[in-house]
Structure 1
Amino acid sequence: MAASFLLLLTCVGLFLSAQAQDCSSPVGGDNMGLKGNDILLQSFPDGTKVTFACDVGYVTAGGSASITCTAGDWSSLRMTCKRKQCGAFEDVPNGSVDYSEGNEFGDKLTVTCKPGYDLVGNPNILCGNEGWMGRPPVCEEVDCKEPVVGFGHWDSGSRGPYTYKATVTFKCNEGYRMTNSATIICGINELWEPALPKCEAVPADTTTTTKSPESTTKPTAVPADTTTTTKSPESTTKPTEVDCKEPVVGFGHWDSGSRGPYTYKATVTFKCNEGYRMTNSATIICGINELWEPALPKCEAGVPTPHTISYISPNQQSTTSHRARRGAVPLHGLRK
């Protein structure tokens, strides 16, 4: 009887010992971890309840996030985690967005601009925990610089601004010849293609001396005391003609006047591009010293370009320019 009672007590003790067994630190599923301070503990008393949370960049896909320690074992964890989605990226004017990697946490998209536009900014945007990370890039229109050809002038094509595929054809001034292509195109990299035309001086013609046939007429005797004076013909060589260089105005373009070559008193009037204003005279004249008078016009960003009114004074051989505010009415029929 005593032996049986002792055996019963032993079994009860073993049962109670098994019921009170602690649990070790639980292991969760992929992309998750214990919440709060539980992550610091190595063992958990029987009956302890812990909760899991998804890692950064992940959200729960369903199922209970909590488990319980019972007799040294944890109950089954039902929760699963999936990657966050960033959704669609904002539209990029004149550009397109490539989602070849996807639009979930850790994925990267790429922005490209359509032909004729340059990308400014980072083309690669990463999907982060709070959405797409980084400022969206911008697609700016290609703008080639003003083409200038020495000893040459504009002949046809675009007058600026020079956007993608804008075409300009040049012509050499009198006395010069073109050594390469006269037509250039604004390329995708904001460079002119092919290279800018070149104008080289035409070599002077070699003077050919023709020997006249010997005269069959006997020479007339001239008295010894007679002096014969031969008058040389007057020189037919003309003085070198004034030739001003091609005028180039940044952020501006030709409006009226000479197209070149720019000889003495040739007049050209410029106009500023949209968004720029003229800060000095819009009209210039080729001077005797082959310099433009007054100085070349300047276009500065700011107030919309004022209108330019040009006329020739009846008493002068020069052109006068006035600037009027937008909306002003130009004067007509100016008199003395």
Structure 2
Amino acid sequence: MGTLHHSVGKGRLIDPVMGITSLLLMVILDLVTTAQGQNCSKPVLGGNMHLKGEGILLTTFSDGVSVNLACDVGHMSAGGSSTITCTAGTWSPVRMTCERKYCGSAGEVKNGNIDYSEGTQFGDTISIHCNTGFKMVGRPDIVCGDKGWMGRLPLCEVMTCDPPDPIAHGTFSPEKEDFYEYSQVVEFRCLNDYTLRGSKLLTCSEDGNFKPDPPACVKVECNDTRIENGDQDAGSRPPHRYQATMTFQCRPGYVMFGERTQICGIDSKWSPGVPECKLSATTKATTTSTTTTTTTTTTRSVKETDAPRPTDTAETGNNWLKWVIPILVIGICSGFCYGLWTYTKKKRGKRHGPVGRALMDGKMT
């Protein structure tokens, strides 16, 4: 009985250990079984990529399932595996990367240029500019798309100008019936006695218009001017046309104020302005007064502050006449008196004869 009890007692001691071990084995087995059957949710991917194929529509993925990845539109793979796998509820790491596609050069634009400052990758925009004097035909901007540049390059055509309007009393050359191209020049000329006012050369500009404004043909004629106390020294004679010149000088005793040489301007006026001849500050004006008994001559110096009188001009200009005329009168009177005296003497001599002489001789003896 004792030995049996011991065996039975030993058996009772072993049963709890085996139970715990069995329990642990069952838990581990259950965990393994549960882990092997766990699904994966939709994977979190890198930038500019997406699931490919049927995986696009799924939200839950079974354990052990592999899915394929693809880059978004306008992007391409830069390396790495394009497949990930669901294992025990976890996705394998995403190794693939995607970058924007390159469009490269868009080509060349004749008479223009392309601005690539924004870049040449997907989504970037280039701008096209035409050279001065050329106009654009087409769109000025093109976008880099998934398949390359989305559009054709524009054209840069030369700017043209319509023929200028004709002007009265003038012509221009060369004459064309259709149009003039950018930078072409026309030259205007006036007919007969007309003068061109404005620029004679007009250029077809970048905005399609001739510049500067067209000139006009005008008839220029300055008046035949005269100045008081002065005379024309040199220059043209009437009619005085455009850019004709006249040169003046003042008479003795007068000083010129202004430019002595004048030019006939486009406005039919003398430029810079007709001068004036004014009495010199050093000129002396002489006035003479005469009475029946005496002659008095008074001389007055003209000061710089004295204003010249109208009579001063005539008196100064004719001073020599005041001296010559009296001398001539006195000379004529003297000659007349002498002739009269001589004539009277001779007549008296004839009237007395020899008798008169004898009487005179008798008186003397």
TM-score bracket, normalised by the shorter chain, equals: 0.5 to 0.7
Cα deviation, residue 40, structure 1? 1.9
Paired position in structure 1 for 2:88: 71
Q: CA RMSD in A?
A: 2.5
Code of the aligned partner of 2:160: D
Paired position in structure 1 for 2:132: 115
Cα deviation, residue 129, structure 1? 0.7
Indicate the percent of aligned positions where both proteins have the same amino acid.
44
The structure with higher relative contact order (CA 8 Å, sep 6+) is 1
Deviations 1:88-132 (A, max 9, x none): 112222222221111111111111222222111111111111111
Paired position in structure 1 for 2:64: 47
Matched, 1:173 2:196: no
Cα deviation, residue 152, structure 1? 4.5
Cα deviation, residue 179, structure 1? 3.7
Matched, 1:104 2:121: yes
Paired position in structure 2 for 1:285: none
Matched, 1:198 2:210: no
Alignment TM-score, normalising by the size of structure 2: 0.52
Matched, 1:22 2:39: yes
Q: Give the Cα–Cα distance (whole angstroms) in 2 for the partners of residues 203 and 22 of structure 1.
A: 105
- Sort the Cα spacing of 1:110 and 1:152 in 2 relative to 1 into closer, same or farther, 3 A: farther
Q: SS at the partner of 1:139?
A: strand
- Sort the Cα spacing of 1:40 and 1:117 in 2 relative to 1 into closer, same or farther, 3 A: same
Q: Give the Cα–Cα distance (whole angstroms) in 2 for the partners of residues 127 and 172 of structure 1.
A: 58
Cα deviation, residue 156, structure 1? 4.9
Code of the aligned partner of 1:14: L
Q: Give the Cα–Cα distance (whole angstroms) in 1 for the partners of residues 169 and 150 of structure 2.
A: 51
Cα deviation, residue 158, structure 1? 7.5
Paired position in structure 1 for 2:21: 4
Q: SS at the partner of 1:90?
A: coil
Structure 1: state its 5+ residue gaps: 207-336
Alignment of 1:1-336 (within 5 A): 1-156=18-173, 161-174=179-192, 176-199=194-217, 202=219
Contact 1:154 1:168 in 2 (8 A): no
Contact 1:141 1:163 in 2 (8 A): yes
Higher normalized helix content (fraction of residues): 2
Structure 2: state its 5+ residue gaps: 1-17, 224-365
Alignment TM-score, normalising by the size of structure 1: 0.56
Deviations 1:194-251 (A, max 9, x none): 1222345x48999xxxxxxxxxxxxxxxxxxxxxxxxxxxxxxxxxxxxxxxxxxxxx
Contact 1:108 1:126 in 2 (8 A): yes
